[in-house]
Amino acid sequence: MEKFLLKNQCIINQIKFVVSIAVLTVTLLSTSIQLASAIEGNETDRLALLTLKQHLVGASSPGPLLSWNASLHFCYWYGIRCDRNRQRVIGLQLGRLKVAAAGTITPSIGNLSALRVVNLSDNSLQGTIPREFGYLKQLRLLDLSNNDLHGNIPVELNNCSSMQNINLILNSLTGKIPFGSGDYHMKNLTMLTLAANYLSGGIPSSLANLSSLDFLGLSRNQLEGNIPNDLSRLSNLKVLVFSRNNLSGTIPSSIYNLSSLTYIDMGSNQLSGEIAPEISFLFPKLEILYIGGNQFTGKIPRSLANISSLDQLDINSNGFCGPVPENLGKLQNLTLLAIDYNHLGSRKDGDLDFVSSLTNCSGLKLLAIHNNRLGGVLPDSVANLSTQIEMLSMGENRISGNIQGIGNLVKLTQLDLGGNLLTGKIPSSIGKLQNLVTFNLSMNHLSGPIPSSIGNLSQLSLLDLNGNKFEGRVPLTLKNCKDMSKLYLSGNELHGDLSNQLIGSFEKLITLNLSHNSFTGVFPSDIVNSKDLVELYVNNNNFIGRIPSQIGDISGLRFLHMQGNHFDGNIPLSFGLLRAIESLDLSANNLSNTIPSELQKLPFLLSLNLSFNQLEGEVPREGVFKNTSQFSIIGNQNLCGGIPEIQLPRCSVNQESKNKGSALSTQALLIMILSILIVSILVALIVVICWRKRSRREPINRPATPLLSVGCSRVSYQELLEATNGFSASNLLGEGAFGTVYKGILHQHKNPIVVKVLNLQNVGAIKSFEVECEALRKIRHRNLVKVITCCSSIDFKGNDFKAIVLEFMANGSLDKWLKCDSSRHLDFGQMLDVAIDVGNALDHLHHHCESMIIHRDLKPANVLLNNDMVAHVSDFGIAMILSDTTSKLGFMQATSSLIKGTIGYIAPEYGMGGPTSPEGDIYSYGILLLEMITGKMPTDELFNNGSSLHNFCKMGLMSLQQLKEIVDIRLLKQINDPNKSQNMEVDGDDIMWKCFVAFINVGVACSVEVPFERMKIEDAIKELQAIKRMCQYHHIVNQSNC
């Protein structure tokens, strides 16, 4: 038995030994395989990182990536995080590298298969987002924000099944939103931020498939259409940001099911409808609600006051009406309440009862209720508002009573009570508001003296007391307001002298308006201390003595109005130094002696009034004196000479000598300058001719235009040749000043394109090409034509070739629709839409680009219409970009001196060598509006007798009969159309005529001759939008419940 057991034990030990050997072999083999795999993965990661470095920094200094070299294992490189076990790269933290080069993201990033975190934000990266990101199945965070990436967002990102956070804010991405589509959905995605790009199309319903989403940010894009119902499936959503797009329609009722929402921002769209009355039950956790800048109507729901968590409520610039709920004071966490620019109130007592309840909001910092219909007495409870309040704006209502208790609100920085019916005095307690920066009490019925305590407001930058009944002297303590930039005291009963000590203390002053008071004494010469002064109005006072010659040293002064005083002596010769002056009015004084010849040399002077003085001698003939509509000299008895149109007697020899004697040296100097200028031009022409001849002999491999190397991806000459069928006549769309335009199709684009080929033989063509590329590189907007790509190459004959590729507009140019013989024409609704679109384009160019851009050739031929009849402004060949770079782009200045637009549409000041300005575009815009509604071009033979389209339309507003004679006959047919909408009200025809008149008024106001009198483009847009709303209201009858 023992032997048997012993034998069995030996067998068992042998088996164990064999099994151990086998296990050890398998373990060693597995470890070897893993080690080999890790080594292979590590090498793949290392090579991918080196390729990434090359694309990120190029040939520039590597900066923080200096450590990315063979002396260190890549896991120790700057910004790299590795997995401890496998030594694979799991994190790229490379935000804000601050390298000189504008790099790109290499597709090899897709080889870093273990990546979980990618942060390449704030690096000025260009190029596109590689679709290879879709290979990174473990990727959780992708942050490419604040770069200059363009192109579409790759749909392959949907394959990143572990993704939790995508941040692509502040880029130049285009196309549609691709997320949530396909077979794979990012079920773990919680944050999606795509704001501040150029994404278009609608908000896709597929976003509802991102079931874990709690933050959705799509603001500042070009999204349009309705908000999809399916978004109601995002039950975890807390933050919803759709602001500053072109969304329309109502808020779907299903959205109110998102009860977890804490932050809603849908501001600055075209949303309409009413807010659900039971909103407090639907959004019980809401903290932020921004819906301003839309078209919402109805009453403010009382139930808003039940959302106890509400912190900020902004519903400004809508159509809300009725009373402001008195229970808003229940919102004890409220810090911001903006209900301005609505139709709230009844202009009666009781409208301001809600203010008392707001005293319960102890954290309130901003209260904006201006531009409504609120009436009643300013309640005493204003004094009990939160001591934390920083902005209180109640202007442009019908508020009456006295100003009391404001001094308690010591943290106020902005106080606006202007445009009301307030009476009484400014309380001395106003001096307690030592943080106040802007203070507006204009256009009320306030009286008494300006309190000396106002001098305690040492941070004051704007003080507007216009249009009241203030009396007494301006307190000397006001000199303590060293930061004052705009001071308006006009239209009061102020009197007394103005000391140099006071006026000389405002060194930062930009605008000073003292007009229509009773100031006396000599005007202070220390106004010269205000070196940045642009506007000075001291007219209609009782100033005496000579006009201070020191005013001529304020080189940036544009508007100087001193009429209606008792100034005497000469017109200061130093006024000839006011190189920026546009409007000068010295009328109704006691000025004597001759008109200084220097005034005719002021390049921008467009309005000069010297009437009703005691001037004598010869009237100059050049500059502003060449156009009788721009100057007035009536009421001066001893003037002579001038242009024939003013019909003054010829000057005697003695009279001429008074002017000519002083002008001889100037004349000699002028001849010498002209001689030098002519020689310089001849030398420049010879240099250009020699350069052109030499450039034709240069080899064809030359650097691309610098501007193009930044802004455009290239396309070859061969591709454009194929796209346009060899630039065939059948593809020809038209010819312009600098080239020829063809229709074509690029193989990589499914939609038709437009190819603008520059004729390089034309003078200025190359400069036009560079200007247009630079302009289009800087701008993206719904109403501006989009540049697709460009070409700077040579053709098959070795000649230079330059072209710009733009998106094709199916409905052609606006001028085709305006021609009388056209089978197509605009109805009035389309006309309004086009006018608003073009206005929005100009507003963007003038005010919302990185640098101000002046188009300078706005006309119907340069307004293109797409499939949906949305207008796009095109042709930036002679545009001017007003920025620091303008000095570097000398060609812009050169082009501007040659061409500034098209006859009929060009602003009159350009024809006289005036400066390029936004007002020039506004003039062209006004003419375009008038051409649309009359069907008459500004060069029509009807205007050959000295009349103009502007005057023609202005006269047409005199009576209904005259109006019928100027309105396009095709529009008249709309009024008489028996098939017009059955919803039109009984007085619809009268409303239509009112709309026509209002439309013409905008065109006339935009096209007045004096630039600074033209309507501002933002005001023109508002007027046109109001006309559109009126037409919709009466013709489509979408009435609110108010």
Please report, for the chain, the start and end positions of each structural domain, with discontinuous segments joined by +.
2-250, 274-397, 402-490, 497-653, 702-808, 813-1042
The distance of Cα 165 from the centroid of its chain, to the nearest Å, equals 30
Kindly report, residue by residue over 308-364, the tens digit of the pLDDT: 999 999 999 999 999 999 999 999 999 999 999 999 999 999 999 999 999 999 999
DSSP SS3 for 317: coil
DSSP SS3 for 146: coil
Q: Quote the CA–CA distance of 356 and 625 in Å, as a whole number.
A: 61
pLDDT band of 680, cuts 50, 70, 90: low
Q: pLDDT at residue 247 above 70?
A: yes
Tell which residue, 369, 490, 488, has the closest CA to residue 439.
488
Q: Quote the CA–CA distance of 980 and 828 in Å, as a whole number.
A: 12
Q: What is the pLDDT of residue 788?
A: 80
Q: Quote the CA–CA distance of 400 and 379 in Å, as a whole number.
A: 9
Return the structure tokens found at 953: 């339309």
Q: Quote the CA–CA distance of 188 and 164 in Å, as a whole number.
A: 5
Q: pLDDT at residue 27 above 60?
A: no
DSSP labels for 441-482?
Answer: --SS--EEEPPGGGGG-TT--EEE--SSEEEEPPPGGGGG-T
Return the structure tokens found at 558: 């544009």
Q: What is the pLDDT of residue 378?
A: 95
Q: pLDDT at residue 904 above 80?
A: yes
Rounded mean pLDDT of 379-407?
Answer: 93
Question: What DSSP designation does 301 have?
Answer: P
Cβ contact 263:242 at 8 Å: no
Q: What angle do CA 253, 255, 257 make, to 5 degrees?
A: 95
DSSP SS3 for 277: coil
Cβ contact 871:838 at 8 Å: yes
Kindly report, residue by residue over 134-181, the tens digit of the pLDDT: 999 999 999 999 999 999 999 999 999 999 999 999 999 999 999 987
Q: pLDDT at residue 954 above 60?
A: yes
Q: What is the pLDDT of residue 506?
A: 93
Return the structure tokens found at 824: 């197509």
Amino acid at 514: L
Q: What is the pLDDT of residue 379?
A: 94
Q: pLDDT at residue 667 above 60?
A: no
CA distances from 354 to 264, 290, 321, 349, 382 (A): 24, 20, 15, 12, 11
CATH 3.80.10.10 fits domain 2-250? yes
Question: What DSSP designation does 652 have?
Answer: P
- Among 265, 416, 464, 857, the active-site one is 857
Range 728-753 burial, b when 16+ CB lie within 10 A, else e: eeebeeeebebbbbbbbbbeebeeeb
CATH 1.10.510.10 fits domain 813-1042? yes
CA distances from 763 to 683, 684, 834, 899 (A): 17, 14, 33, 11
In the chain, the percentage of residues whose pLDDT exceeds 90 is 55
- More confidently predicted of 39 and 551: 551
pLDDT band of 881, cuts 50, 70, 90: low
Q: pLDDT at residue 220 above 70?
A: yes
Return the structure tokens found at 432: 């307690």
Task: Give 3: exposed, middle or buried? Use CB within 10 Å, 0-12, 13-18, 19+.
Answer: exposed
- Asked if 857 is an active-site residue, the reply is yes
pLDDT band of 65, cuts 50, 70, 90: confident
Kindly report, residue by residue over 738-797, the tens digit of the pLDDT: 678 888 888 766 678 888 888 776 655 666 666 666 656 657 788 888 878 888 777 767
Q: What is the pLDDT of residue 882?
A: 62
Phi, psi angle pair for 253, to nearest 5° = -60, -30
Cβ contact 211:188 at 8 Å: no
- More confidently predicted of 435 and 103: 435
Helix (H) or strand (E) holding 891: helix 890-898
* CATH annotation of 274-397: 3.80.10.10
Q: pLDDT at residue 462 above 80?
A: yes
CB atoms within 10 A of CB 958: 9
pLDDT band of 23, cuts 50, 70, 90: low
DSSP SS3 for 998: helix
Q: pLDDT at residue 19 above 60?
A: no
Return the structure tokens found at 220: 């500042």
- More confidently predicted of 197 and 681: 197
Q: Which residues pair with 569 in a beta bridge?
A: 591
Q: What is the pLDDT of residue 804?
A: 86
Kindly report, residue by residue over 274-292, the tens digit of the pLDDT: 999 989 888 999 999 999 9
Rounded mean pLDDT of 222-251?
Answer: 95
CB atoms within 10 A of CB 913: 11
Return the structure tokens found at 727: 């630039």
Return the structure tokens found at 978: 């028996």
Which has the minimum average pLDDT: 234-248, 648-662, 866-880, 933-947?
648-662
Q: What is the pLDDT of residue 662?
A: 44
Which has the minimum average pLDDT: 102-111, 156-165, 701-710?
701-710
Q: Quote the CA–CA distance of 650 and 661 in Å, as a whole number.
A: 17
**Which architecture does CATH list for 402-490?**
Alpha-Beta Horseshoe (3.80)
Q: What is the pLDDT of residue 652?
A: 81
Q: What is the pLDDT of residue 877?
A: 62
Rg (CA), the chain: 36
CB atoms within 10 A of CB 212: 16
Do the first three CATH levels of 402-490 and 813-1042 match, i.e. the same topology?
Answer: no
Q: What is the pLDDT of residue 1039?
A: 38
Helix (H) or strand (E) holding 1018: helix 1017-1035
DSSP SS3 for 677: helix
Sequence-distant (≥ 6) Cβ neighbours of residue 728 within 8 angstroms: none
Amino acid at 173: L
Q: What is the pLDDT of residue 467?
A: 93
Helices marked H in 805-889: 814-818, 828-847
Q: Quote the CA–CA distance of 920 and 1011 in Å, as a whole number.
A: 7
Kindly report, residue by residue over 168-198, the tens digit of the pLDDT: 999 999 999 999 876 667 899 999 999 999 9
Q: pLDDT at residue 116 above 50?
A: yes
DSSP SS3 for 369: coil
In the chain, the percentage of residues whose pLDDT exceeds 70 is 81
The distance of Cα 1009 from the centroid of its chain, to the nearest Å, equals 25
DSSP labels for 209-258?
Answer: G-TT--EEE--SSEEEEPPPGGGGG-TT--EEE--SSEEEEEPPGGGGG-
Q: Quote the CA–CA distance of 414 and 367 in Å, as a whole number.
A: 10
Kindly report, residue by residue over 805-829, the tens digit of the pLDDT: 888 888 888 988 888 666 678 888 8
Q: pLDDT at residue 70 above 70?
A: yes
Sequence-distant (≥ 6) Cβ neighbours of residue 64 within 8 angstroms: 78, 79, 94, 97, 98, 99
Amino acid at 487: L
Helix (H) or strand (E) holding 26: helix 2-57
Cβ contact 951:927 at 8 Å: no
Q: pLDDT at residue 677 above 80?
A: no
**Is 819 a known ligand-binding residue?**
no
Q: pLDDT at residue 995 above 80?
A: yes
Kindly report, residue by residue over 913-937, the tens digit of the pLDDT: 778 889 999 999 999 999 999 999 9
Q: Quote the CA–CA distance of 405 and 785 in Å, as a whole number.
A: 54
Sequence-distant (≥ 6) Cβ neighbours of residue 208 within 8 angstroms: 180, 228, 230, 231, 232, 233, 234
**Which architecture does CATH list for 702-808?**
2-Layer Sandwich (3.30)
CATH 3.40.50.720 fits domain 497-653? no
Sequence-distant (≥ 6) Cβ neighbours of residue 899 within 8 angstroms: 737, 764, 857, 878
Return the structure tokens found at 324: 């402001």
Task: Give 522: exposed, middle or buried? Use CB within 10 Å, 0-12, 13-18, 19+.
Answer: middle
In sign, the C-alpha dihedral spanning 932, 934, 935, 937 is negative
Kindly report, residue by residue over 391-404, the tens digit of the pLDDT: 999 999 999 999 98
